[in-house]
Structure 1
């Protein structure tokens, strides 16, 4: 099943985003509000299919948009009513948001999925009205042994993210990240949370 096969059945279909790998639409299928990500060219179909595979896995852990349909050249997931992290994050909510991001990054590390873009979460994280964090855009993700989700996110925390968070010891965090990179245990992850004063 291709996107063209169901396009006529989608109500209020509108283009809401374009990238060089695909287009994102919003619309209603069987009275369900969905986002449709469609490969822009045939060469990008494997990226869309891989994203479907990854969403099926991570959805079990409450991560990502909930996959509803996976076609040959598209995926459809529940539309997320949210805003980009950059528009939402402030000194009052940063600890809540970054705590969720770190814990989701930790799950991805444990699952062996490298998202590739955790050092710049402004571009691929949505926040809903309840301050729930949604990771989006997994087409660049890959199954890997070289997992960098938590350590990439720490790059963001030490840089841009630090201006929103209560004061913490950056040197200690850098050292803790190095230790975690070598040995990704729960104990070493907990040390990262402790330095950031985040309770599990």
Structure 2
């Protein structure tokens, strides 16, 4: 297992001193095992995801399956602790994967099983689609209210998972910030409804008047009120 760990914990460039430090962190977290599972391969080991700053692998923690996020050795970020702080804050509103433990280089997260938003939106059951969209927009509204900008919801393809029970999970708060203006609601609406090609056919399926929607989005940028939010939900025909 040690040979495997040095390839995963110190990806992409192995360093003996860094590996010893990370191995100590890894053991301090209480991780019992890491599992080869996922659609991406690194050195013949399957992982859940790979980004410019981190990897995500399936692991065993306190007898349960979790997602372990690992900071890459070539990451521009010196720590994952800021992401942990943001997650602990949004978790209070039942948003994001539950943060179970963390160190400088690792996050132990609830493992979320389901379909990414693009896969889910092929669902033919319009009531299910409406229910999920409502949950997603409410979560984005909450993030705006608590002034945390996710940063990636205008490109939400791999950042929203829908579980088998129809729960909505916004994931990957790596680029989230409290220092810039929170635009989660307008970002996700642009992604879902305003792209020229309308990839999910939501404008057609929900009977949305695009001009009315754009007008309300301009309004909510100026006045982030609950009244305008519910007007938007009404125009989207999901409330």
Count residues with an aligned counterpart.
197
Greater displacement, 110-119 / 5-14:
5-14
Residues 145 and 186 of structure 1, relative CA distance in 2, 3 Å threshold: farther
How many angstroms does 1:91 deviate by?
A: 4.2
Residue 57 of structure 1 corresponds to 89
Aligned 8 A contact 1:3 1:71 in 2: no
Residue 84 of structure 1 corresponds to 116
Distance in 1 separating the partners of 2:224 and 2:104: 36
Aligned 8 A contact 1:83 1:128 in 2: yes
Residue 73 of structure 1 corresponds to 105
How many angstroms does 1:158 deviate by?
A: 2.5
Residues 9 and 63 of structure 1, relative CA distance in 2, 3 Å threshold: closer
State yes or no: 1:126 paired with 2:161.
Answer: yes
Instruction: Tell me the TM-score normalized by structure 2.
Output: 0.76
How many angstroms does 1:120 deviate by?
A: 2.0
How many angstroms does 1:3 deviate by?
A: 4.7
Q: Which has the larger radius of gyration?
A: 2
How many angstroms does 1:21 deviate by?
A: 0.4
Residue 13 of structure 1 corresponds to 35
State yes or no: 1:153 paired with 2:188.
Answer: yes
State yes or no: 1:175 paired with 2:175.
Answer: no
Gaps of 5+ in 2: 1-20, 37-46
Gaps of 5+ in 1: none
How many angstroms does 1:10 deviate by?
A: 2.4
Residue 77 of structure 2 corresponds to 44
Larger relative contact order (Cα-Cα within 8 Å, sequence gap ≥ 6): 1
Distance in 1 separating the partners of 2:194 and 2:182: 19
Aligned 8 A contact 2:207 2:237 in 1: no
**Which of residues 176, 193, 197 is equivalent to 2:233?**
193
Residues 9 and 186 of structure 1, relative CA distance in 2, 3 Å threshold: closer
Instruction: Tell me the TM-score normalized by structure 1.
Output: 0.90
